[in-house]
Structure 1
Amino acid sequence: MRSALPSPTTRRRLPRALAPIAAAALAVPLLAATPTAPTYAATAGVSTGVSTGVTTGTTTGTSTAARRDPNPVTPGDFTGYGFDQCLTPTQDKMDAWLRSSPYLAVGIYISGDSRACRNQPNLTPEWVSTQLARGWKLLPITLGPQASCQPRFPRYDDDFTISPKPGSSGTYYQARKMGQNSAVETVEDAQRLGLTKGSTLWYDLEGFDLGNNRCRESALWFLHAWVSKVEQLGYASGVYSSAGSGIRALDDARVNRPGTFRLPQHIWIARWDGQANTSTSYIRADGWLPGGRMKQYRGGHDERWGGVTINIDSNYLDLGRGSVAPAERHCGGVRISFNDYVPLFRPVDGKRASKRHVKALQCYLTERKLYDGPINGMYHQGMLPVVQAWRKSRGISTTSSTWYRRDWMTITAYGAKPLLKVGHASKHVRRVQRTLNAAHLGSTLSVTGTFDNRTTSLVRTYQGKVGLPQTGIVDRKTWNKLMRGRRG
């Protein structure tokens, strides 16, 4: 995670009073320390728990802005790229990166006394609601007490490390108390920013010596209490840590001591192998799958997008159900998605146009309110005035009765012009995928509605053919070319 140090202004000490939130709503007795460790239902690796926990929350926090206009759950179901940076970027930087970078998720440090960037002048409820409204997926991070054997902490003279004392029961009462207090603070800060219940809150536990028994066990009990409390207060839980220490410790606990600890619903694996996936050899292949992993695959480095340079870590996310577009239905079930959109022509010498493609055209023209005839797959004389009317509306001057690939592109692309890139999933992505297939670029796409790496590649190919910068991002200029049926 980001570690650049700002001016060391003291924020506060743990634990603290919970003024903005009713104490009764947050106060829950600490789990009693007993000789036998309590058992808990496992959450790791259960896809239904991950998906449901992240996507169904609708209750807002306590901020006025959130009450007026509830923010969406974040990150929700998402597959794509994200970055994290110590200091929350300004709005201008966020906008530039939204337009130009491959990233659609951003990690923000919202809580914790051990943060390098305690002061976050840009991080406000308005900043949060603006990013969510513009399509960013937010990853709220807490960097509070760290493992007792982590040599870089405590960072200041007023933060703490996790107590390594096992106590008489061996269940690390002090560590659990610290975890619970930290969770309450995290939720308070999340609610102050308008982060909706059901959103995933992440705890950043920096790497530590896995072989140090008390250090490892106290960290596990701390996370157990933090996860339990965060989930009890209505949020989904996630833990960031090194693949070889914190994440491995969680995975070992999952397999070797099932039910002992409350495990996070999601894990954020720090493994700087340069591979944009969620895999690592440090943990077993079945843990937190499907839909419970993200990976920080590259550490601190500068990237420049849209004229703006930010020092970031790079991440790949595959959370919940992943990026999935809602189902579509057209004209009572008429198929309108194809790998190729062939030209259509009037019957000649016993040959007829593809019936299924004609039905698709009739459906499109019906939805555009230009055609009220039967959707029967017959490219007949009565359709020609409608075809010409569509062409005229698109500025195409031709009297040909044949419906060409260019015509297909104009009608499959027609509509709004939202910015689209990797991670988006919607009906608009389907429009792009259909239109790229109609452009006949030598490669085809499955029309899934999910903007994946393959879609990015074909967008770049198309942009190169029509003289646009090959960003792989569908912006207004790209939409305009698609809607005009330009093929190069």
Structure 2
Amino acid sequence: MTAPATTPTDPTRVDLGLRAVVITTVVGLLAAVLLALPSHHDDKARTMSGSNPVTPGVFTGLGFDQCLAPSQAAMTAWRRSSPFRAVGIYIAGYSRACRSQPNLTSTWVAAQLAAGWHLLPITLGPQASCQPRYPRYGNDYRISAKPAGDYAAARSMGATEASKTVSAAKALGIVPGSTMFYDLEGFDYTNAGCRESALRFLSAWTVQIHKLGYRSGVYSSVGSGVKMLERQRLSPLPSVVLPDQLWLARYDGKANTSSPEYLSDAGWAGNRVKQFQGGHSEKWGGVTINIDRNYLDLRTAPKPPAPPATPTPTPTPAATPPAPPSAPVESHCGGVKVDLPAYVAIKKPTPTYRPPMDQVLALKCLLRERAGFRGVVGNGFGPALVTAIQSWRKARGMRVNAVWTRAMWMELLASGARPTLRPGAVSKDVRDVQRALNAANLSAHLPVNGTLDARTQVILRLWKARVGLKPGGVVAQSAWRLLAAGRF
């Protein structure tokens, strides 16, 4: 993103759009395996995207952005080692520096969302009419400053760009309800025609984004685009619609979303992102990337505006598709919840530590069902559970203590004779795969529905890459063995 506000020395200057990513370490088994996944928008990739969550969703914390989408190996290394959990990606716009995005596919998007990343899709299309650095290529354009029809030409350009963006988002598996951010680089705020045409462009962008079922976001310098939008919020013109989320560029080095000189606290509260540090290289997990740093404060998640209703004929009962197959409903230990979004290590309580009760109850119930535990399930982490854990560890040659680890969860959930499972399989064994993957990957949060569906296959592929198995959505005997061995 390149967003100087009004002067060359403005502290809000950003220059991501002109930079390329620098990655110094992209080798290893994980990269080799994941690069074998489909790299094009094939039918399988589109199917995988169907269960993707809305993005960026509700999130407070650090993020980064850079022009070129990093490789899968880089994203995996940074997910493990860095403080970042959000990443900006350029998905559309003829004016972006990274027109070619070799890593950015629907498979890549699904994998990042499954790993817990919050994605901020960015479009860098037509820029303000007074922006001197554009057009960049000659076949990209600046926003029309013709005032006729309340800047009708600019509005038309904004609506067109929104439609292109949503098409790109859908091809990547980014689902409706997600926020599409328009990158409006810094411009001369005092140029009235430039400013007002840009405002109408963004208004039309927002209106069209809403019609297509997505949320609208705008990135810009606090001294130009943000100032312009805040002015509209405080003194609204009836013909202008504001975006849902605001991403401000303010290089003050402060990891917050504040810029009181340009934006009051009431403006877009709970719906802000701030780019607070410009281009620099950071190294995490052995991988160096040149990034901008951001802080996200996205605490509200209003429903996106519904697209206009389209009358459709009422289907006849014969035309109603059959319900997809589902695994039989299970009940455990009189109603104990054993299907958890994550299975974490727990130990005997101490004066400063209390194990999560849902983990304790699930463990005692599963031990009763699978390992002959005879203690009372509902009385907490008591002596009977301590004895059971110590016996389990001793039988496996482990150090005898009262710690139950993630690897032990995996063994409990995946051991025993198991069938080979193929994509689409529906059974209680699939439930155990999903549970074991939730122990292996604490960010997976797989629904334990008993169906080897697209989302489960994404998490399965990521786990296989980490443990050195061949990629694919099949749970063969080799996979069962490593799950039961607690490999993650």
SS at match of 2:247: strand
* Cα distance change, pair 261–383 in 1 and its aligned pair in 2 (3 A): closer
Aligned-pair distance for 1:67? Answer: 4.2
Which residue of structure 2 lines up, in the alignment, with residue 274 of structure 1?
253
- Is structure 2 residue 291 aligned with structure 1 residue 312? yes
* Cα distance change, pair 355–251 in 1 and its aligned pair in 2 (3 A): closer
Q: Is the 8 A contact 2:406 2:439 kept in 1?
A: no
Matches for 1:267-306 after TM superposition, within 5 Å: 267-281=246-260, 282-290=262-270, 292-306=271-285
Distance between the aligned counterparts of 1:376 and 1:319, measured in 2?
38
SS at match of 1:318: strand
Q: Is the 8 A contact 1:342 1:357 kept in 2?
A: no
SS at match of 1:197: coil
- Is structure 2 residue 185 aligned with structure 1 residue 185? no
- Indicate which of 214, 217, 233 corresponds to 1:235: 214
Residue range with higher mean Cα deviation, 313-322 or 98-107: 313-322
Q: Is the 8 A contact 1:237 1:266 kept in 2?
A: yes
Q: Is the 8 A contact 1:356 1:377 kept in 2?
A: no
Amino acid at match of 1:284: S
* Cα distance change, pair 118–67 in 1 and its aligned pair in 2 (3 A): closer
TM-score calculated relative to the size of structure 1:
0.61
Aligned-pair distance for 1:356? Answer: 11
Distance between the aligned counterparts of 2:394 and 2:65, measured in 1?
48
> Residues 230-252 of structure 1, C-alpha deviation per residue, up to 9 Å, x if partnerless?
11111111111112211121122
Once superposed, what is the RMSD of the aligned Cα atoms?
4.0
* Cα distance change, pair 118–166 in 1 and its aligned pair in 2 (3 A): same
Q: Is the 8 A contact 1:164 1:172 kept in 2?
A: yes
- Is structure 2 residue 223 aligned with structure 1 residue 223? no
Q: Is the 8 A contact 1:78 1:318 kept in 2?
A: yes
> Residues 191-224 of structure 1, C-alpha deviation per residue, up to 9 Å, x if partnerless?
2222222221110001112222111111110000
Residue range with higher mean Cα deviation, 128-137 or 280-289: 128-137
> Residues 354-374 of structure 1, C-alpha deviation per residue, up to 9 Å, x if partnerless?
999999967753453254544
> Residues 331-365 of structure 1, C-alpha deviation per residue, up to 9 Å, x if partnerless?
9799xx9xx96459xxxxxxxxx999999967753
SS at match of 1:103: coil
> Residues 1-36 of structure 1, C-alpha deviation per residue, up to 9 Å, x if partnerless?
113268xxxxxxxxxxxxxxxxxxxxxxxxxxxxxx
Distance between the aligned counterparts of 1:378 and 1:392, measured in 2?
22
SS at match of 2:57: coil
Which residue of structure 1 lines up, in the alignment, with residue 402 of structure 2?
407
The alignment of Structure 1 onto Structure 2 pairs a total of residues equal to: 344
Which residue of structure 1 lines up, in the alignment, with residue 18 of structure 2?
4
Aligned-pair distance for 1:157? Answer: 1.5
* Cα distance change, pair 377–255 in 1 and its aligned pair in 2 (3 A): same
* Cα distance change, pair 419–248 in 1 and its aligned pair in 2 (3 A): farther
> Residues 53-98 of structure 1, C-alpha deviation per residue, up to 9 Å, x if partnerless?
xxxxxxxxx9734542213322222222221111222222222222
Which residue of structure 2 lines up, in the alignment, with residue 64 of structure 1?
43
- Indicate which of 102, 107, 129 corresponds to 1:126: 107
Sequence identity of aligned pairs in percent?
49
Q: Is the 8 A contact 2:45 2:107 kept in 1?
A: no
* Cα distance change, pair 287–332 in 1 and its aligned pair in 2 (3 A): farther
Amino acid at match of 1:104: R
Which residue of structure 1 lines up, in the alignment, with residue 92 of structure 2?
111
Distance between the aligned counterparts of 1:293 and 1:199, measured in 2?
15
- Indicate which of 391, 394, 409 corresponds to 1:392: 394
Which residue of structure 1 lines up, in the alignment, with residue 136 of structure 2?
155
Query: Is there any run of 5+ residues in structure 2 with no aligned partner, and where?
Result: 2-15, 21-40, 302-332, 338-343, 411-437, 447-485
- Is structure 2 residue 266 aligned with structure 1 residue 264? no
Q: Is the 8 A contact 2:360 2:380 kept in 1?
A: no
Aligned-pair distance for 1:413? Answer: 9.2
Q: Is the 8 A contact 1:303 1:311 kept in 2?
A: yes
- Is structure 2 residue 186 aligned with structure 1 residue 207? yes
- Indicate which of 68, 71, 76 corresponds to 1:87: 68
SS at match of 1:155: coil
SS at match of 1:229: helix
> Residues 253-294 of structure 1, C-alpha deviation per residue, up to 9 Å, x if partnerless?
11211654211111111111111122221201012122x111
* Cα distance change, pair 410–190 in 1 and its aligned pair in 2 (3 A): closer
Q: Is the 8 A contact 2:361 2:377 kept in 1?
A: yes
Which residue of structure 1 lines up, in the alignment, with residue 367 of structure 2?
368
Query: Is there any run of 5+ residues in structure 1 with no aligned partner, and where?
Result: 7-61, 323-329, 345-353, 399-405, 428-482, 484-488
Aligned-pair distance for 1:228? Answer: 0.7
Matches for 1:321-470 after TM superposition, within 5 Å: 321=300, 342-343=349-350, 364-369=363-368, 371-374=373-376, 386=388, 388-390=390-392, 392=394, 407=402, 417-418=439-440
Distance between the aligned counterparts of 1:151 and 1:245, measured in 2?
14
SS at match of 2:80: helix
Aligned-pair distance for 1:378? Answer: 9.7
* Cα distance change, pair 343–68 in 1 and its aligned pair in 2 (3 A): closer
Amino acid at match of 2:242: L
